[in-house]
């Protein structure tokens, strides 16, 4: 069954009560629809931070796109990056991207990095597994490449998340070549699903189909920049960038086609029409489509107790909206959203809930920072 696509234009966003903007209050306090909070600065010495992960011992790992893995511990950013990070191709949107801990990290010390590697034929989104040791990574092993390699450093993805069965989902952008998203012999514009060792689960939707890539879980995705596991259902939710307009919020279903570029609310960057088609039978409608684009990045469900009114909300950074979006959902239906800290931080690239029940953000700029939302 197709879901009804929820679309709001810029004009509608100003006219409807479903979008709320947080307001400032005395003493640095901000008020939103269901919480009062402050924005705390934790570190400002990061160069294009991209992703964050919390270790069981309380430390925080942060990737920097130029190829460094940093540690925030005991209230400060450690000056020396961790060693052992694989060689990263940096240029355009390419570099060191996501970091994700193995579900059994507490005992096996394994983590995963997504990054862009370069070789014969060009660059490709790559995922490697490594063991976190004292002072750095050990046994770095590439497990996945979004083949084939090609030139270009745009629309690369890439996020990683594990589901409750211990399977790994990796988002791969369409490499700014839109037709590839519908090509099941190519991994561009796809979400892939793998075992933790990089092998293909036997129940993947395209396993055993001659010529098709067995790694593929979904297709027709443009540039997925956020993956999150629903805390109740265990389903994987996703946000992706459209071109000019057409950003999407989706729930991933095995073998589903999410339409790009045959279905979109976006236009080319020069204003030309990609398609006037907004729905096709057999393709999944987005739960929410943003027109104009907000450029959603990072994704997490809030399950903590520090902000009771936010419990169950979905959070994503919005690069082009200069805001943090809080999205309310009802089961698998979009309900409403509000913009937090609008205009206060540039380029929120990732948002994660910490073990303390607070929300942590990183901003991707040359003087990027680590920030925390705290109750006021």
Residue 73 has pLDDT above 80, yes or no: yes
Q: How far is CA 123 from the centre of its chain?
A: 20
Query: What are the structural domains of the chain?
Result: 6-375 (2.120.10.30)
- The residues near 265 (Cβ < 8 Å, ≥ 6 apart) are 7, 242, 245, 246, 278, 289, 291
* HSE-up (13 A, CA, CB side) for residue 293: 20
How do the residues of the chain divide into helix, strand and coil, expressed in percent and rounded to 5? Answer: 5, 45, 50
Decide if pLDDT at 112 tops 50.
Answer: yes
What are the tens digits of pLDDT across the range 150-188?
999 999 989 999 999 999 999 999 999 999 999 999 999
Parallel/antiparallel/unpaired status of strands 288-290 and 6-8:
parallel
What residues pair up with 325 in beta bridges, in sequence order? Answer: 316, 339
CB 368 within 8 A of CB 348: no
Distance in angstroms (rounded) separating the CA atoms of residues 111 and 249: 27
What percent of the chain has pLDDT above 90? 91
**Number of neighbours of residue 136 by Cβ within 10 angstroms:** 16
Note the pLDDT of residue 20. Answer: 61
Whether the CA torsion 50, 68, 371, 101 is positive or negative: it is positive
Token look-up 């920030």 returns 371
Enumerate residues 6+ apart whose C-beta is below 8 A from 6: 286, 287, 288, 289, 334
Q: pLDDT per residue over 278-335, tens digit each?
A: 999 999 999 999 999 999 999 999 999 999 999 999 999 999 999 999 999 999 999 9
Q: What's the DSSP call for residue 179? A: G
157: phi then psi, degrees, rounded to nearest 5: 85, -145
The Cα 222–Cα 250 span in angstroms is 12
The pLDDT tens digits of the residues spanning 7-22 come to 654 333 333 334 566 5
Tracing tokens 């597994």 back to the chain, one arrives at: 129
Q: What is the mean pLDDT of residues 107-126?
A: 96
Please provide the average confidence, as pLDDT, over all residues in the chain: 93
Distance, in Å, from the CA atom of 315 to the CA atom of 350, rounded to the nearest integer, reads 10
Q: What is the pLDDT confidence band of residue 356, given thresholds at 50, 70 and 90?
A: very high
Read off the pLDDT band of 28 (50, 70, 90): confident
pTM (predicted TM-score):
0.94
Contact 293, 268 (CB under 8 A): no
Q: How large is the average pLDDT for residues 56-74?
A: 97
């Amino acid at each position: 069954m197709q879901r009804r696509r929820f679309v709001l234009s810029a004009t509608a966003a100003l006219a409807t009560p479903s979008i709320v903007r947080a307001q400032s209050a005395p003493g640095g306090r901000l008020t939103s629809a269901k919480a009062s909070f402050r924005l705390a600065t934790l570190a400002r010495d990061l160069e294009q931070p991209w992703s964050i992960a919390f270790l069981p011992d309380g430390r925080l790992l942060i990737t920097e796109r130029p190829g460094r893995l940093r540690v925030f511990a005991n209230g400060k950013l450690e000056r020396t990056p961790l060693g052992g990070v694989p060689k990263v191709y940096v240029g355009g949107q390419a570099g060191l991207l996501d970091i994700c801990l193995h579900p059994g990290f507490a005992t096996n010390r394994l983590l995963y990095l997504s990054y862009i590697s370069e070789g014969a034929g060009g660059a490709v989104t790559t995922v490697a597994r490594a063991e976190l040791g004292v002072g750095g990574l050990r046994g770095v092993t590439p497990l996945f490449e979004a083949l084939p390699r090609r030139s270009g450093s745009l629309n690369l993805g890439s996020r990683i998340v594990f589901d409750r069965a211990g399977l790994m989902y990796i988002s791969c952008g369409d490499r700014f070549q839109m037709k590839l998203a519908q090509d099941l012999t190519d991994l561009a514009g796809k979400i892939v699903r793998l075992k933790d060792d990089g092998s293909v689960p036997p129940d993947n939707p395209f396993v055993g189909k001659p010529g098709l890539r067995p790694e593929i879980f979904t297709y027709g995705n443009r540039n997925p920049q956020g993956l999150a596991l629903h805390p109740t259902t265990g389903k994987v939710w996703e946000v992706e960038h459209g071109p000019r307009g057409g950003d999407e919020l989706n729930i991933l279903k095995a073998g589903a086609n999410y339409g790009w570029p045959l279905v979109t609310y976006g236009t080319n960057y020069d204003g030309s029409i990609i398609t006037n088609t907004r729905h096709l039978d057999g393709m999944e409608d987005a739960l929410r489509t943003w027109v104009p684009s907000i450029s959603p990045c990072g994704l997490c469900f809030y399950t903590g107790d520090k902000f009771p009114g936010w419990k169950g909300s979905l959070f994503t950074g919005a690069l082009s909206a200069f805001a943090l979006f809080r999205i309310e959902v009802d089961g698998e239906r979009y309900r409403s959203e509000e913009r937090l800290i609008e205009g206060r931080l540039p380029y929120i690239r990732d948002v994660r809930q910490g073990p303390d029940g607070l929300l942590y953000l990183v901003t991707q700029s040359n003087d990027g920072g680590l920030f925390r939302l705290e109750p006021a």
